[in-house]
Amino acid sequence: MEDINILLASDDNYAQHLGVVLCSIFENRKGIYVINIYIIDGGLSKESKLKLEELEYRYNFKIKYLDAQKEIFKNYPKLSHWGDIIYNKLLVDRLLPDIDKVLYLDCDLVVLGDVRELYSTNIENKVLAAAERSENEFLKERVVIDKSIKNYFNAGVLLFNLKEFRRKKIGKKCLHFIEKNAQEVDYPEQDALNYVIDNNFVELRHKYNFLVANPMKKSFKKPFIIHYNRKIKPWHQININPYNKYYIKYLSMSPWKENAKKYKLRGRLRKYIDKFFNLFSS
């Protein structure tokens, strides 16, 4: 049976959320097969790595840490909470020189299905597989610089065919795109991938990257991956998104489980406050 390679990226601010993603992956694994975890390390502390080590022991897997490249991105646009580390996905072929296929996942999501299902997607002769940003016909198309991207995809869940990625020098072209157009794009690394790949990708069903900021009707009942792509995340005090319960579920299984009760209490309190104000405003 084919080993599954998964790549994530995190600094210490996102260590807890990284742990949640890992718990969700292994809790939903069906059957016995190897999952190789690679983490682009943007400054994880010793304490955080010890907690992640607890997960390695519990689920019987091994993490390989990869040093995040920062110097080459020092003049790139800063991306709010992500920082420079998000650009490292564009170096995936260099970071994993001996691997031909890898599933990249952002750390603001949870996996609710067996990753083997997603990983088995046929991406032969394509650079990657990804889900379009929206099922809404009016939002599918996005203009990036001088090109109209008809099937614009979100870059939070990417199944890479690294053979094609290397052969077509996608990473190098994406870096050149950002250097040239840094001030003209909203989502530098995502816009770069869409622009350079130019629709040469396998379209995943939306359930594989269910965006809470833009829920789609077809995948509403049974999302495979819930991606908290809003600026306000499940761990923020004012967030009462109905999908937060999945994050809290896997957080309660993680070495950071002491925070789960706090988030639950916040959510309940916020609901009561909203009901109170709605009562007097109606």
The DSSP line for 117-184 is HHHT---TTSSEEEEBS-SSHHHH-EEETTEEETT-B-TTEEEEEHHHHHHTTHHHHHHHHHHHHGGG
pLDDT per position as a tens digit, 207-224: 999 998 876 555 567 899
- In the prediction, which pLDDT does 12 show? 96
Q: What is the pLDDT of residues 5-40, one digit of tens each?
A: 999 999 999 999 999 999 999 999 999 999 999 999
The pLDDT assigned to 79 comes to: 63
Both tokens of 240, joined, read: 């009462």
Residue type, 177: F
For residue 122 the two structure tokens come to 């046929």
The CA distances from residue 88 to 91, 101, 167, in Å, are 5, 16, 19
* Averaged pLDDT for residues 191-217: 88
Torsion of CA 240, 243, 246, 248, to 10 degrees: -10
d(CA 110, CA 248): 10
135-187 pLDDT, tens digit each = 544 445 566 777 777 888 999 999 999 999 999 999 999 999 999 887 888 88
Q: How far apart are CA 34 and CA 59, in angstroms?
A: 11
Determine the length of the chain: 282
**88: pLDDT strictly greater than 90:** yes
Pick the CATH number of 4-281 from 3.90.550.10, 3.90.1170.50, 3.40.50.300, 3.10.20.30: 3.90.550.10
Q: Is 268 helix (H, G, I), strand (E, B) or coil?
A: helix
Mapped onto helix, strand or coil, the DSSP state of residue 233 is coil
- The predicted model scores a pTM of 0.90
- Residue spans of the domains in the chain: they are 4-281
Counting other chains too, the contacts that 64-67 makes at CB distance below 8 Å and 24 or more residues apart are 64/36, 64/37, 64/38, 64/39, 65/39, 65/41, 66/38, 66/39, 66/40, 66/41, 66/95, 66/96, 67/40, 67/41
Mean of the per-residue pLDDT values of the chain:
87
